[in-house]
Structure 1
Amino acid sequence: MPPTAELDIAEVAERTGMTASGLRFYERRGLIRSSGRNGLRRTFSPEVIDRIALISCAQAAGFTLAQIARFLVVGPDDAELRERMAEKARELDQAIARLQRMRDSLRHASTCNHTPLIECPEFKSRIRDGDAAR
């Protein structure tokens, strides 16, 4: 199997939508690691793209960079961090349910003839009760 081509920092920035300075910041924080240099430019293995996607997802879920750094190296014996992960998963479940209720309510409101729309009993019920199946 041929060796995987290294990506320079500009390629990683383009593929991830990050700036080169953001990538260097992540590297200083220990979130990613360059694999070498091509002249003055840092190079990275292609796997860094997936790692950055994971970091971005974790940030969007509300993890701090310090928590993400721990998350990236967590082992089965880190009970505290694993509990924090489980807690965050529960919080995300609640947020997802809330957003689904809002989405379904807005879909209903977009076709509802009630005036004003936010006074529609079905709209209110979907927001309040979370009955997205109506």
Structure 2
Amino acid sequence: MRQLGIGELARRVGMRPSALRYYESVGLLPSAERAAGRRVYPVATVRRIALIKMAQRAGFTLAEIRALLDTDGDRGTTRQWRAFAESKLPELDRFIRQTQMLRDAVADCLACGCMNFDKCALLAEDGPGAVQTRG
């Protein structure tokens, strides 16, 4: 089986070796084998890191990702992934709504064109474009 040194693996996945060592220390990656005192990983680790990165982009915490990766067997992984994904959707929907409100506020400020922050009605605490910071 072909193995990758930590530097080669880091280049392939676009990460720093220190991040890979951290992932290993928190249980996201299995402990690396050693060859001549250096960490080496099976090529399949590239796919595992791709899954970790995708899950992070979707908003999963490292603890959630670790729990998903620790699930035994394909059927257990599928059930676990479905449960995590279903619980994550409402959180992502809230994030999208909040981000859209911020985007709209910035667009309103650009459309206003006054660029006088002290007198702009859009920036007043109770003005029509007041940004709600509470979730």
Q: TM-score range by the shorter chain?
A: 0.5 to 0.7
The superposition leaves residues 6-29 of structure 1 with CA deviations (integer Å, 9 ceiling, x where unpaired) of 321022334432333x42342244
The superposition leaves residues 98-131 of structure 1 with CA deviations (integer Å, 9 ceiling, x where unpaired) of 112211321231231354142463x34xx56xxx
For structure 1, the 5+ residue unaligned runs are: 129-134
CA distance in 2, matches of 1:50, 1:104: 38
- Percent pairwise identity: 29
Aligned with 2:15 (options 11, 14, 17):
17
CA contact (8 A) 1:7 1:43 kept: yes
CA contact (8 A) 1:34 1:45 kept: no
Q: State the TM-score, normalized to the length of structure 1.
A: 0.61
For structure 2, the 5+ residue unaligned runs are: none
RMSD after superposition: 3.4
Equivalent in the alignment of 2:65: 68
CA contact (8 A) 2:27 2:66 kept: yes
- What amino acid does structure 2 have at the position aligned with 1:100? Q
Q: State the TM-score, normalized to the length of structure 2.
A: 0.61
1:1-134 alignment to 2 at 5 Å? Answer: 6-14=3-11, 15-20=13-18, 22-33=19-30, 36-59=33-56, 61-65=59-63, 67-74=64-71, 76=75, 82-113=82-113, 115-116=119-120, 117-119=122-124, 121=128, 123-124=129-130
CA distance in 2, matches of 1:111, 1:47: 51
Shift of 1:73: 4.3
Equivalenced residues, count: 120
